[in-house]
Amino acid sequence: MNTSKATEKAMPIDKLACQHYLRNYEEYLKPLRDQEIVLFELGVAEGKSLLYWRDFFPKAQIIGLDIHPVQINDPSNRIKVYQGEQQNREILNKIAAEVAPNGFDVIVDDASHIGQYTRISFWHLFENYLKPGGLYFIEDWGCSYWDIYPDGKKYFPQQVDFTWYEKLLNTLLKISFIQNTTLFRKLVNKLRIVLVKKEFPSHQRGMVGFVKELVDECGSPDITNELFGNPPKKPSMIEWMRVSVGHVVIKKAVQK
């Protein structure tokens, strides 16, 4: 979707730093533009993003939360800002009870970007206060690839290749004698299946590890498969999840 110059000018600079953030917001939120929704953003800094949401959604109620006090000039009276930490379940309960007793339609997390805090607020809000079919956005998850971040660690990529024993078995399988001897051929193939690499090096720190936890939630139907997994069968609470550089978009499933 093409982004207008006016929209770019209105969007706070932190979200403009990654243009696809803005494209994601326009793509997924445009269908809600003229609806009377309730949007909740965690981590609002000076509050410029709240003004953007107010103008983007002319009928919406816009709620913000930040650890610092935020003063906003809002003649529309459609913006309300609370002070507190995103992982404080009591303040989240208070906000939901006061402004969204029927649940939030959209939640945007641009707060601490610390995995544990983001994880606590996500599951509490997603399970209890995001409406079925609602959208949850998580920003800047890639910061956990940096040593300078509180729960981050520098990432070192691993070479993609066979292990030494996989290479050996692949070589054995090419030997004519083994190829032409049914017993040996089956034995080598069996060993290849048994010894095939089963785990892959993966960065698990902070926000990165949390995003991978969300992948497991998407896999709930397979995890709880009645024949191969751990029953009883459990559908995923996530209808779909889109992961892009620094940005995650999640749609809550409508359970039947």
Catalytic residues: 113
φ, ψ for residue 214, nearest 5 deg = -65, -30
Can you tell me the distance from the alpha carbon of 95 to that of 80, in angstroms, rounded to the nearest whole number? 10
Contacts of 43 by beta carbon, 8 Å cutoff, 6+ apart: 65, 66, 86, 109, 110, 111, 112
Place of tokens 């940005």: 247
Q: What is the DSSP pairing of strand 238-244 with strand 247-252? A: antiparallel
φ, ψ for residue 80, nearest 5 deg = -135, 130
Can you tell me the distance from the alpha carbon of 226 to that of 232, in angstroms, rounded to the nearest whole number? 7
Can you tell me the distance from the alpha carbon of 98 to that of 82, in angstroms, rounded to the nearest whole number? 11
